[in-house]
Amino acid sequence: MHKVLITSVPFGQKDRKPIEILDSLSVDYEINKIGRKLSEDELESMIDDCTILIAGTEPITRKVMESAPNLKLISRIGIGLDNVDLKSAKDLGINVSYTPDAPAPAVSELTIGLMISIMRSIQIANMNMHQGNWNRFFGRRFDDLTIGIIGLGRIGKRVLDHLNGFRCKEILLSDLIEDHDIASKSNIRWVDKETIYSHSDLITLHIPLNSSTHNLIGSKEIAMMKDNVMLVNTSRGGIIDEIELYNGLKNGKIASAAMDVFEKEPYEGNLSTLDNCLITSHMGSMTEDCRSRMEVEATEEAARFIKGEKLELAVPKDEYEDL
């Protein structure tokens, strides 16, 4: 009999369908009772006799996998794979699946919301009002800005689609592969990352975290940027060096930043002390519809595995190529 461990939280709160799927399979399943992201040791202590892990962002390391000799499938709720040791999974014969399409609408919309918030100092105005201070702030508008998008995958393309409706002054794009069909408008062009750093008024990041993107933006890159640049990161923590981001915000080189993701979560760092840094709790995918879709898709993939059917959301082979 299969045993399923669900570590992602919340799970089945807004939509009972994932629970109903598991109940219909007559499998033994356990949902994370701690109610937060698990540490490596906590996960290791829970996973020993499981065959399937329906996972969140907790560290799924070789140590964790080796402590679960019966583990055959990791079904990841979400798109990021930086928390899964894919090489170890491959070595140990463990299948890995994910839900890459489900979170894209919610993350892209939050990205636009964060952009507007820091462009118009909405978070600072809100704090002032709650403190009894009536202050009005000058802001910026999209049609006066050059926006730089680094990463044109599922989420980055949606962000571009949204921005097209705001009549931006210019949109600069950078990715490993240039799709010239999406840069057909006169105000959109493909450039290298260095051009984005030096020419953009606002930069938004939509790339995976891996060895080549860790601390992609540090002191050198920030020094290349325009004075009073704005930064938004809804992709993965660790892509922006948080110490250098703090320094840039503190010394005024960076006018403002919005961060939904952090290298260590829950976040307890000093960015929380800065009024010009809007921080949120990795809530990009947390709309009712997108979260439900992620949970359902990950659970349906587990059901396919249990029934001996072909997996539909298996991580593609090219994700393993550089391991």
The order of strands in the sheet holding 170-174 is: 188-190, 170-174, 146-150, 202-205, 229-233, 254-259, 277-279
- The answer as to CATH 3.20.20.70 being correct for domain 104-279 is no
Q: What is the pLDDT of residues 48-91, one digit of tens each?
A: 999 999 999 999 999 999 999 999 999 999 999 999 999 999 99
Check whether 29 has a pLDDT greater than 70. yes
pLDDT of residue 105: 98
Cis ω for the linkage preceding 10 (within 30 of 0):
yes
pLDDT of residue 322: 66
**Count of CB atoms within 10 A of residue 232's CB?**
28
Helix (H, G, I), strand (E, B) or coil at 307: helix
Q: Helix 154-164 and helix 104-119: axis angle, to 10°?
A: 50
Cis ω for the linkage preceding 18 (within 30 of 0):
no
Check whether 321 has a pLDDT greater than 80. no
- For residue 232, which of 268, 261, 274, 271 has the smallest C-alpha distance? 261
Q: Which of 265, 288, 309, 312 is catalytic?
A: 265
Question: What's the token pair of residue 7?
Answer: 């570590």
Taking the C-alpha atoms of residue 279 and residue 277, their distance in angstroms, rounded to an integer, is 6
Backbone angles phi, psi at 230, to 5 degrees: -120, 140
Is residue 240 within 8 A of residue 262, CB to CB? The reply is no
pLDDT of residue 159: 98
Question: What's the token pair of residue 199?
Answer: 């020419």
Check whether 323 has a pLDDT greater than 70. no
Taking the C-alpha atoms of residue 147 and residue 162, their distance in angstroms, rounded to an integer, is 12
Domain boundaries, the chain: 3-102+287-320, 104-279
Q: Which of 2, 76, 140, 282 is catalytic?
A: 282
Helix (H, G, I), strand (E, B) or coil at 294: helix
Active site residue 265: yes
Cα-Cα-Cα-Cα dihedral sign, residues 74, 76, 79, 83: negative
Q: Helix 104-119 and helix 122-130: axis angle, to 10°?
A: 70
pLDDT of residue 39: 96
Check whether 319 has a pLDDT greater than 90. no
Q: Against a cut of 0.75, is the pTM above it? A: yes
Check whether 250 has a pLDDT greater than 80. yes
Q: Which of 236, 242, 244, 301 is catalytic?
A: 236
For 179, counting Cβ atoms within 10 Å of its Cβ (0-12 exposed, 13-18 middle, 19+ buried), the class is: exposed
pLDDT of residue 1: 84
Active site residue 268: no
Please write down the long-range contacts of 269-274, taking CB distance under 8 Å and 24 or more positions apart.
Answer: 269/242, 270/246, 271/242, 271/245, 271/246, 274/246, 274/249, 274/250
Is residue 55 within 8 A of residue 85, CB to CB? The reply is no
Active site residue 236: yes
- Do 3-102+287-320 and 104-279 show the same overall fold? yes
Taking the C-alpha atoms of residue 36 and residue 282, their distance in angstroms, rounded to an integer, is 12
Helix (H) or strand (E) holding 17: helix 17-24
pLDDT of residue 128: 97
Q: What is the pLDDT of residues 202-228, one digit of tens each?
A: 999 999 999 999 999 999 999 999 999
Q: What is the pLDDT of residues 162-183, one digit of tens each?
A: 999 999 999 999 999 898 888 8
* Amino acid occupying residue 295: E
DSSP letters spanning 81-135: -TTB-HHHHHHTT-EEE--SSTTHHHHHHHHHHHHHHHHTTHHHHHHHHHTT---
Taking the C-alpha atoms of residue 5 and residue 83, their distance in angstroms, rounded to an integer, is 17
Average pLDDT (274-286) is 97
User: Confidence class of residue 26 from pLDDT cuts 50, 70 and 90?
Assistant: confident
Taking the C-alpha atoms of residue 230 and residue 203, their distance in angstroms, rounded to an integer, is 6
pLDDT of residue 124: 96
From the DSSP assignment, how many helices (H) and strands (E) are in the chain? 11, 12
Fold of 3-102+287-320: Rossmann fold (3.40.50)
Check whether 184 has a pLDDT greater than 80. no
